[in-house]
Amino acid sequence: MPEQTSGAPATATKPAVTEPVTGRVEREFTVRDRGQLRQALTRFLRHRLAVASLTVFLLLVLLAFVAPLFWKYGYTKITPDNSQPPSLDHPFGTDNLGHDMFAVTLRGLQQSIKVALSIALIATVFGTLWGVISAFYRGVIDAALMRLADLVLTIPALALAAALANNFGGTWWIIAIILGSLSAPYVARVVRGVVLSLRELEYVEAARALGASNLRIMLRHLVPNALAVVIVNATLLVAQGILAETALSFIGFGVQSPDTSLGLLITIAQQAVFTRPWLFYIPGVFIILFSLTVNFVGDGLRDALDPRQTRQRR
């Protein structure tokens, strides 16, 4: 009899079956790391209102600082055309003395831009450092710095600014230093509230565990993550700075003649609002336009510099 082979019976090898191609294309998402500056610029350019406002703001700056170099009249020059309405020769008309109001308005815009931006810069820099130091160290340092801030905030800012401006002069930089210093405690309190929550997060503890100094933690980790709030407050301070300078000019303690500002122009023209309205409304339009553009640019920068948006999907 034939010999039997023990074990499992041999099975035939089946050919491999290839899965049919369905034709479906899977969309592939990739996440790409980018530099923080490039990410912020990309997000800002997507904010159309902010980009348009930045364009208008830059045009206002060029108009204020470049146009007077090419205009035929200086802001102190007196022409024989008294109280003339806007015309081709005088686009913004003239005042009762014959000053070309286009040249005068450009000078006022130039000085108001200096005052507003300087107020925001001084208040933001000193107020941010004030708030970060107070929130980071806590304890006695926090109590002392915040009580000082409370003391300054209880003083009527306009009255104190008027008294200081009267003693130190009415130049634009004196006004900017006084109003910026009086606004710094407000920024300090806002920044302190943000940093109090940030200092308890894990990355701060990790940086401290790795041996980072207090100064590095504050400048490298806390300040950048509070930047969105700082920028929003800075843009508000620009608008408040113009209004504060206008109020000081109204009571006679702002920028003094022969120099001028938009606030001073409105103050001088308030009696002529019905007889020569161009003297009043044109500087007012520039104040509103400047304030709105700065605020919209601030909104765009706030969104672009949001530290939580660190990656971009495409």
Please report, for the chain, the start and end positions of each structural domain, with discontinuous segments joined by +: 34-69+94-313
- The pLDDT score that the predictor gives to residue 101 is 94
Q: Which residue has the tokens 């130091």?
A: 133
Give pLDDT, residue 222: 87
Enumerate the β-bridge partners of residue 312. 32
- Among 31-35, 70-74, 207-211, the range with the most confident prediction by mean pLDDT is 70-74
* pLDDT tens digits along 196-222: 888 878 888 888 888 888 888 888 888
pLDDT of residue 168: 79
Helix (H, G, I), strand (E, B) or coil at 31: strand
Cβ within 8 Å of residue 33, ≥6 positions away: 311
Q: Global pTM?
A: 0.79
pLDDT of residue 313: 40
- Is residue 22 over pLDDT 60? no
Q: List pLDDT tens digits, range 109-139.
A: 999 899 999 999 999 999 999 999 999 998 8
pLDDT at 267 over 50: yes
| pLDDT value of residue 206 | 86
Q: How far is CA 173 from CA 115, 185, 216, in A?
A: 7, 20, 32
Average of per-residue pLDDT values in the chain: 82
Of the candidates 234, 250, 242, 225, the one whose C-alpha atom is nearest the C-alpha of residue 289 is 242
More confident call, 40 vs 21: 40
Q: CB-hemisphere CA count at 13 Å for 222?
A: 32
CB 233 within 8 A of CB 254: no
Q: Model confidence over 270-297: pLDDT tens digits?
A: 888 888 999 999 998 998 898 889 888 8
Quote the percentage of the chain above a pLDDT of 90: 34
For 102-144, the DSSP string reads HHHHHHHHHHHHHHHHHHHHHHHHHHHHHHHHHHHH-HHHHHH
Consecutive H or E run containing 313: strand 312-313
Region 190-196: mean pLDDT is 91
Which range among 6-10, 146-150, 229-233 shows the weakest confidence by mean pLDDT? 6-10
CATH architecture of 34-69+94-313: Orthogonal Bundle (1.10)
The reported pLDDT for the residue numbered 8 is 46
